Structure 1
């Protein structure tokens, strides 16, 4: 199985583990089911039980603990690889869960088993949720020489490169992955990131739409996330609004009609698009679509699945007048952070700060948002919420709106000027800057002191 030694007496278990590894690396549907099949087929297989623990942990902590205990009971007959995987996963889902320990154990595992790109993928996911793209890059560089024939490795290389602003290198890596396998969805996704960041919007939409048939086997998250990229690129290019709404209605929300869809993953991408529409002045179509989501967003079973989803819900609920539910969620988030260890609490205080600000933005209290975030806010400093540059950028767009509506005209001009120097081809930024400069000029003309006239 993927070049690693493990022990099982069951061909069914082996096949299920192969399926699990393949689905995990390709963002494929059914990976949880595959892990559960493997564990059921051979209860004595430590590797299968460990992976089952990791697979169910987000939704079933008790079940994860039971699988982890089963894996521990069978370590006496396990290979060194199985023991190493168990060590990494026990630091991710066990009672002694600790991300830093998990990262250290992944480094050690990959030194011994450099072809285990499944463990590399896990390590990169931890880095993503900790906002550490530099460490993610270090992980992939550690094992790249041993995996140059694998298309997956180049998508894994491209993502931290683009998060570190190394767009040329990221594009080369993504294209190398696609040269090996044109249907590598992670390389497709990362090449789109490059196009989007460099304001190559038409290139992005044409490329991604041509790739879209290969997404049908993807998880609800990546399928709708790739369509989110398409919609945002249409929006950024100031294409007809109907194009953006068609993607939302026909490609993102349509996913909910599938029997195996993960609703929370769909809502994350749906809300991320609706907030962008909202801050860009398309308030009516955004609120019209929010209306159909309200009952789902008040359902606490989808809370705390992802920090980014929580933040988006904290905008959506108060913007639609659901203040009590929004306040309950905010208090729940604060309680969640208070239960973390002190180091993690300190890091996540910024996430709570952003949560409070987003809640006030949804409530229309722009001056309060400014007071909470302070004059030097930049959403890229909030990557601990587990979001890419493009995902957190919507909070920068919220910030521009806040500056304008809070009367911080000169600050808005300064911030927009800096952003335009990074992305000169973004029409929305130029339009905002021209509006603010015109407003500033009019203020000067009409309120110039008599002594100067």
Structure 2
């Protein structure tokens, strides 16, 4: 019996000791809590819900039960809510209460400095101070380069901020520590490859992403990087071939599959094959969004439909279907990038009341000075961007151009990827093309020359250049 008990004790301590041996002490006496924390972090890092474990939500529920006072359990639970950008502390009393309780709990316990920094980072994130949160996560990474939670939280937040070089270099600084023997190291290659693609280092990005896929072909994030490379270079046929060949490996990544299908559909829009794009939308993009309500899925749906709308494609009831998941976020104002995508759906569904409500509530929040980083950008970026969409839909193309053109190089600050923000560039081109002003139609031609050099042999750019030539000849 004594021998059996000793073996059990060793097994019970295994996960706790593994974290300790990695220099990442977790302040809990529950090995079960450590195991569940590990399971949640693994699912977050790999963009998957492991249903055999109950998925992320199931694991979080068990984690809280295993040790209700485990501070890092509260950190990962609250962090995933905040990073998910589907709930706002400002509006959601339950989430606000959870963050306050986490901070209070941390003050009543003997925690490591690393754990205290995690709490502080989420506390300032909850108040909208995203750059400051990243500074705190970077402080953790300087001393603990294999802290995957700090790395992933900062990576996602840099993305929201449009801090492209910081997103790349944050991973680069810890990259040498992620040797093959460190669990999940191949996924860190995927994070780094995405930072490379967003700083236009396409060949290097593709190389690193392929290195990650050679280790784990189900890495949907590395697939996503390569999809971006092909999108940014307008290598449509190469992109279509890659997505078709790898689909079986990433389609079960329920947190990212919808987004990868979105990239697939973009290639068809680029080619002008709208029915093929709509087939992917109807089969793989819309159903996931309507079921999950996740913000990434919502953004993909709004963005894709709006691109098709700009191309003149009839969309039937699709905008109205989408309204059911976007309308509840009208007053969120967590990220300006999200706001403008919700707005696309309101305009598409011709819901004038909700459109006005989004704009009015954003204007009210933008009036007062406050610490929220995103809202501080609203007066000179968020509101003009939103208004440009409204003016375009109202047929005021000249006004849309006047609003959008002066801020085009600053829009990176609202976050998202270059590929995602391309919808803003397309709006500007279409508004200029449809302007009554000769000067603005000339601007459209100039913008298309610029686009043509950035993405040689782009079928969409070629279509728009032909349209611009036709408009010019009729003028």
Q: CA deviation at 1:373?
A: 2.4
Whole-Å Cα distance in 2 between the matches of residues 213 and 156 of structure 1? 21
Whole-Å Cα distance in 2 between the matches of residues 193 and 400 of structure 1? 22
1:214-271: CA deviation from partner (whole Å, max 9, x where unpaired): 4455354x22111110100111123x3221111000001221565xx23544322111
The answer to whether the aligner puts 1:235 opposite 2:269 as a matched pair is yes
Map of 1:203 onto structure 2: 238
Judged with a 3 Å threshold, the aligned counterparts in structure 2 of structure 1 residues 86 and 321 are, in CA distance, closer, same or farther, namely closer
Q: Is the 8 A contact 2:231 2:267 kept in 1?
A: yes
Q: Is the 8 A contact 1:319 1:363 kept in 2?
A: no
Map of 1:425 onto structure 2: 457
Q: CA deviation at 1:67?
A: 4.1
1:190-221: CA deviation from partner (whole Å, max 9, x where unpaired): 1110011111212222222333334455354x
The answer to whether the aligner puts 1:416 opposite 2:448 as a matched pair is yes
Map of 1:324 onto structure 2: 353
Map of 1:28 onto structure 2: 48
1:65-91: CA deviation from partner (whole Å, max 9, x where unpaired): 244135414531x23432332233233
Q: CA deviation at 1:342?
A: 6.6
Map of 2:211 onto structure 1: 176
Matches within 5 A, 1:71-220: 71-76=105-110, 78-93=111-126, 98-149=129-180, 150-220=185-255
Whole-Å Cα distance in 2 between the matches of residues 216 and 14 of structure 1? 29
Report 1 or 2 for greater relative contact order, CA contacts < 8 Å, sequence distance ≥ 6: 2
Map of 1:250 onto structure 2: 283
Map of 1:45 onto structure 2: 70
Map of 2:322 onto structure 1: 293
Judged with a 3 Å threshold, the aligned counterparts in structure 2 of structure 1 residues 256 and 197 are, in CA distance, closer, same or farther, namely closer
What's the TM-score once normalised by structure 1's chain length? 0.88
Q: CA deviation at 1:335?
A: 2.7
Question: Which 10-residue stretch deviates more, 186-195 or 249-258?
Answer: 249-258
Whole-Å Cα distance in 2 between the matches of residues 52 and 189 of structure 1? 26
SS of 2:25 mapped into structure 1: coil
Q: CA deviation at 1:115?
A: 1.1
Aligned pairs, number: 432
Q: Is the 8 A contact 1:17 1:48 kept in 2?
A: yes
Map of 2:38 onto structure 1: 18
Map of 2:15 onto structure 1: none
Q: Is the 8 A contact 1:32 1:56 kept in 2?
A: no
Map of 2:390 onto structure 1: 359
Whole-Å Cα distance in 2 between the matches of residues 377 and 432 of structure 1? 22
Map of 2:3 onto structure 1: none
SS of 1:304 mapped into structure 2: coil
What's the TM-score once normalised by structure 2's chain length? 0.84
Whole-Å Cα distance in 2 between the matches of residues 298 and 177 of structure 1? 38
Q: Is the 8 A contact 1:71 1:86 kept in 2?
A: no
Structure 2: segments with no counterpart, 5+ residues: 1-17, 50-54, 88-93
1:89-110: CA deviation from partner (whole Å, max 9, x where unpaired): 23323x5x52232222122111
Matches within 5 A, 1:329-348: 329-338=358-367, 341=370, 344=373, 345-348=375-378
Whole-Å Cα distance in 2 between the matches of residues 140 and 114 of structure 1? 9
Q: CA deviation at 1:308?
A: 2.9
Q: Is the 8 A contact 2:330 2:339 kept in 1?
A: no
Judged with a 3 Å threshold, the aligned counterparts in structure 2 of structure 1 residues 127 and 368 are, in CA distance, closer, same or farther, namely same
Judged with a 3 Å threshold, the aligned counterparts in structure 2 of structure 1 residues 184 and 377 are, in CA distance, closer, same or farther, namely same
Question: Which 10-residue stretch deviates more, 299-308 or 104-113?
Answer: 299-308
Q: Is the 8 A contact 1:154 1:173 kept in 2?
A: yes
Matches within 5 A, 1:306-317: 306-317=335-346
Structure 1: segments with no counterpart, 5+ residues: 444-453
The answer to whether the aligner puts 1:397 opposite 2:426 as a matched pair is yes
1:27-69: CA deviation from partner (whole Å, max 9, x where unpaired): 2233344334323310232211222222334534224324413
1:121-178: CA deviation from partner (whole Å, max 9, x where unpaired): 1111121111111112221111011014211111111112111111111111211111
Judged with a 3 Å threshold, the aligned counterparts in structure 2 of structure 1 residues 55 and 292 are, in CA distance, closer, same or farther, namely closer
